[in-house]
Structure 1
Amino acid sequence: MRRVMMVFVHVAVAVLSLLSVGQSAPVTSCESLIQQIEIQGRDQLLGKWMSIAESTDVAAFKLLTEMFVETCWVKITTAKENNAIDVFQAQKMSGRCFTLTSKMTLENNTVSMVHPFSVSEVFLRSGCPDCLVLQAKYTIGRSTYTGLQLLSRRAKVTAAEMEEFKKQVECLNLLPPTIMDPEKGFCPDESTIKGKGTIDLTDVSNHMNSESVSLLENIINSGGEMLVETISSSMAGLKEN
């Protein structure tokens, strides 16, 4: 139960993808701000990206991120399949690093995966030259949730770029975004992160079943307090080990 919950938090809070969309003029109207962009190919996604800020339509998710998540970065590489990418995530939560490796499919301007739960992501227009604004739909059991994430090649973005993202959040009627704090430091690079007290969640994620997903759905929908208590207990247990 404890490890399953940690997998869910890691995946749902810091889900993947990146695209350098090129410089464009700042946009202000909601129609322009939430306009989807076309992906030219997976090569545009490759490399290392930082999670800058994110929003959601679930108050429990926002509370969870604010309480536990400090920083996160993502490294995307090509998979053997022509339409797939391998995604390595390193997320720092309460001073400890958690990693997860997953495979996602790129098709029709959408990045998606089906396990351990369904995730579908599209890319929105941005005036930031090296950013990606990622709108995601998560289907967990019978419930669907929405999220918006700002990713960048940089650890920080300008005030104007952050303001644009906040307007996009408002246009989608999501909760005010949670902004990561790069001053708290990032997990080490992939080549050096193993064997340094890092917890890898890949195997647990790969073996999650429908019963586990249903349990997660029930915990999420029961309210933020139960979700936070579950994760708090998990983090306390990890510190004891």
Structure 2
Amino acid sequence: MKFIHVAVAVLSLLSVGQSAPVSSCESLIQPLEINGREQLLGTWTHIAEATNVPLSKFLTDLLLESSRVKVTAANESDTMNLFLSQKSLGRCFSFTYKATLEQNTLTSAHPLPLSAALLSTGCSDCNVFYTNFTIGGRTFNSVQLTSRRDKVAAAELEEFTKQVECLNLPAPAIMDPEKGFCSDEVTDLTQFLTDMGSDVQRLLDGIINSLGRIQTLGEAGSKSQDDV
């Protein structure tokens, strides 16, 4: 079960953006400028996420109840400390990692190499980041919506869903704020990830391979039923 929590956790990255309402795909997926790390600091609630990792939406809907990230300035220039807390099956887990802002891109090397760009959003206190990350030599993509609020308006969520479609990603998993959030009493996975080192990549790669086979079998079974 720990590995699943880690797999869900490493896909969550802070993002923030503000702009006029947008509707066309060209505008919705246009990367924006990030004017320094200060605009990224604070506490953000994870609202929704879409990714092309096999069966990710199914696992997120099944396991992940809520997620928040607290971002503070690190000692190094343009670097931030991210404290991610997640509620899963009634229990709370967390881990801390660092991200660096350079040329409008957020990057992090641990526990997985990833980079993220800020996208447009008509939500005044929301973040939308498009993230590329590598597991076992394969690159995956995700797009996350976070907000300073625990819940966004239906129109704001609809706009994010449109962004997901424009990026050709599967339908997003949407968090339920009614399930509550973690307090300070959490199980910290930071040391666990640190001790594992490069084994994290291999373990997550094994998980994704297994999920990919399950998804393929499910799609094949569904197609067979349709052909009957």
Q: TM-score if structure 2 supplies the norm length?
A: 0.89
Aligned to 2:15: 18
CA shift, 1:127, in A, is 0.5
Equivalent position to 1:78, from 67, 73, 81: 73
* Equivalences for residues 52-91 of structure 1 within 5 A: 52-91=47-86
Aligned to 1:205: 193
CA shift, 1:84, in A, is 0.4
Deviations 1:177-198 (A, max 9, x none): 111000000112xxxx13xxx2
Distance (whole Å) between structure 2 residues aligned to residue 65 and residue 183 of structure 1: 16
Aligned to 2:158: 163
Aligned to 1:29: 24
Deviations 1:181-217 (A, max 9, x none): 00000112xxxx13xxx21101011222334412321
CA shift, 1:16, in A, is 2.4
Q: Which runs of 5+ in 2 are unaligned?
A: 216-228
Q: How much is the aligned-residue C-alpha RMSD, in angstroms?
A: 1.7
* Equivalences for residues 51-200 of structure 1 within 5 A: 51-188=46-183, 193-194=184-185, 198-200=186-188
- 1:59, 1:175 within 8 Å by CA — same for their partners in 2? no
Distance (whole Å) between structure 2 residues aligned to residue 149 and residue 225 of structure 1: 25
Distance (whole Å) between structure 1 residues aligned to residue 4 and residue 47 of structure 2: 23
- 2:15, 2:145 within 8 Å by CA — same for their partners in 1? no
Deviations 1:130-182 (A, max 9, x none): 00101111101211111010000001111111111000000011111111000
Distance (whole Å) between structure 1 residues aligned to residue 150 and residue 213 of structure 2: 31
CA shift, 1:108, in A, is 0.9
Distance (whole Å) between structure 2 residues aligned to residue 4 and residue 68 of structure 1: 12
* Equivalences for residues 44-55 of structure 1 within 5 A: 44-55=39-50
- 2:111, 2:200 within 8 Å by CA — same for their partners in 1? no
CA shift, 1:109, in A, is 0.7
1:126–1:80 CA distance, 2 compared to 1 (3 A) = same
* Percentage of matched positions with identical amino acids: 50
Q: Which runs of 5+ in 1 are unaligned?
A: 228-241
Distance (whole Å) between structure 2 residues aligned to residue 183 and residue 126 of structure 1: 24
Q: Structure 2 counterpart of 1:167, which letter?
A: K
Aligned residue-pair number: 215
